Amino acid sequence: MTKKILKDFRRLGRQEDVDDPIVVCRFFTPFNRWSWYPISFDEEAEVFFGLVDGIEVEWGSFALEDLEACRDHRELLIDRDKYFKQAPISVIQRQIKGRCMML
């Protein structure tokens, strides 16, 4: 995680009472269709909270340590989408829904 991303999480805070929270970054696996869209980060616990697009689309917590440790048989790691532009979660949800309708 970059210093800028950490700074953005600090600036936005937990976003608990925000109707349309901002997704700060995107993590993804190059070996399947999973993506993680965090809206907050607990620095002490090193745990994100956000939308997970995996087998199902659901809200949940995910640890930075777990993302960094995830590997497959080719030793590929979960990566951060370097081209991701911060956006409200409603925009991300529409993109996910549109992609699912195409499958």
pLDDT over 60 at 95, yes or no: yes
Domain residue spans of the chain: 3-102
d(CA 45, CA 31): 27
**103 vs 87: which has the higher pLDDT:** 87
d(CA 29, CA 67): 9
Residue 101: what pLDDT?
Answer: 52
HEC secondary structure over 8-64: HHHHHCCCCCCCCCEECCCEECCCCCCEEEEEEEECCCCEEEEEEECCCEEEEEEEH
pLDDT over 90 at 69, yes or no: no
pLDDT over 50 at 102, yes or no: no
